[in-house]
Amino acid sequence: MVKAPRAISILSGGLDSVVALFDFIKKNPNGEVHAITFDYGQKSAEMEINASKKICKYLGIKHSVLNVKWLGKLGTSALTTDKEIPKLKISDLEDKEKCEKTAKMVWVPARNIVFTAIASAFAEAENAEKIIVGWDREEASTFPDNSKEFLSAFNNLLAIGTMSNINIEAPLIDMDKHEIVKLGKKYGVPFEFTYSCYQGFEKHCGVCESCVRRKRAFKLAKVEDPTEYMK
């Protein structure tokens, strides 16, 4: 009898991590998943946690919220300080220099390294073989900790640094946001439960980079966007 796979899902409640989670569940209907959501002092913490809780309740899977607020106290990210979050227009997404600049403004020091290391500890402790992440090609263009190189390097690290056979799976690693929306539509993802805004308002601000990428993704995918935007 084939053993049902166990996985730890790093879940923010946003499009990418939610679709990646659905991908695992659809491909492993008998699998077990423990989703973990991080509160690192980000402005959107409450909304991300609420979105993640809704998704996990919808799927009937275990969910834990982890307090790592010390991480948000490091550096000067606009996500965790009183600095203003940069605003963009859809046309700005084609300006790589501008996007690299805004990425630096919201960069949280070693965030994905910390998150993935903690998820690795959960995986080893719970005998999970997989860690599910929402890293994707579009994000990797400005955030190096979403890239194939980062994925490969971390999997090499796990092979050396753990006493278990743990593998990070990033099913969206070769996808842009609109392709992720299309996949989510195929899987029946309740997009209305997801949350992407950096600001943490009840409604999406509509002008932070995450909101703008979300808007464009639904538009390019020709999928109805259930999101309420302020602008």
Residues 6+ apart with CB under 8 A from 162: 120, 124
Structure tokens belonging to residue 202: 């009840």
Residue 4 pLDDT: 77
Angstrom distance (rounded) from CA 75 to CA 88: 23
Q: How far apart are the first and last CA of the chain?
A: 53
From the centroid of its chain, how far is CA 10?
7
The predicted-structure confidence for 120-174, as pLDDT tens digits, reads as follows 999 999 999 999 999 999 999 999 999 999 999 999 999 999 999 999 999 999 9
Residue 1 pLDDT: 53
Query: Does pLDDT of 177 surpass 60?
Result: yes
The predicted-structure confidence for 15-27, as pLDDT tens digits, reads as follows 999 999 999 999 9
Q: Which residues are annotated as a binding site for Zn(2+)?
A: 197, 205, 208, 211
Residues 6+ apart with CB under 8 A from 132: 7, 8, 9, 10, 20, 21, 23, 24, 33, 169, 171
From the centroid of its chain, how far is CA 206?
18
pLDDT band at 214 (very low <50, low <70, confident <90, very high): very high
Q: Which residue has the tokens 């946690």?
A: 49
- Cα distances (Å, whole numbers) of residue 149 to 19, 143, 170: 21, 12, 12
List the domain boundaries for the chain. 6-221
Mean pLDDT confidence for 183-196: 98
| The pairing of beta strand 62-67 with beta strand 130-132 | unpaired
Query: Does pLDDT of 3 surpass 90?
Result: no
The predicted-structure confidence for 72-81, as pLDDT tens digits, reads as follows 999 999 999 9
Angstrom distance (rounded) from CA 45 to CA 68: 11
Q: Which residue has the tokens 């929402």?
A: 134
Angstrom distance (rounded) from CA 133 to CA 169: 6
Residues 6+ apart with CB under 8 A from 106: 77, 78, 79, 85, 86, 198, 209
The predicted-structure confidence for 118-127, as pLDDT tens digits, reads as follows 999 999 999 9
pLDDT band at 113 (very low <50, low <70, confident <90, very high): very high
Angstrom distance (rounded) from CA 66 to CA 29: 26
**Residue 78 in contact with residue 200, Cβ under 8 Å?**
no
Domain 6-221, CATH number (from 1.10.10.1100, 3.40.50.620, 3.40.50.300, 3.30.2130.30): 3.40.50.620
Q: Which residues are annotated as a binding site?
A: 11-21, 197, 205, 208, 211
- Position 145: which residue type? D
- Position 187: which residue type? Y
What 3-state DSSP class applies to 154? helix
Mean pLDDT confidence for 83-109: 95
Whole-model pTM: value is 0.96
Quick one: what percent of the chain has pLDDT higher than 90?
Answer: 97
Q: Which residues are annotated as a binding site for ATP?
A: 11-21
Angstrom distance (rounded) from CA 104 to CA 143: 9
Helix count and strand count (H, E) for the chain: 9, 5
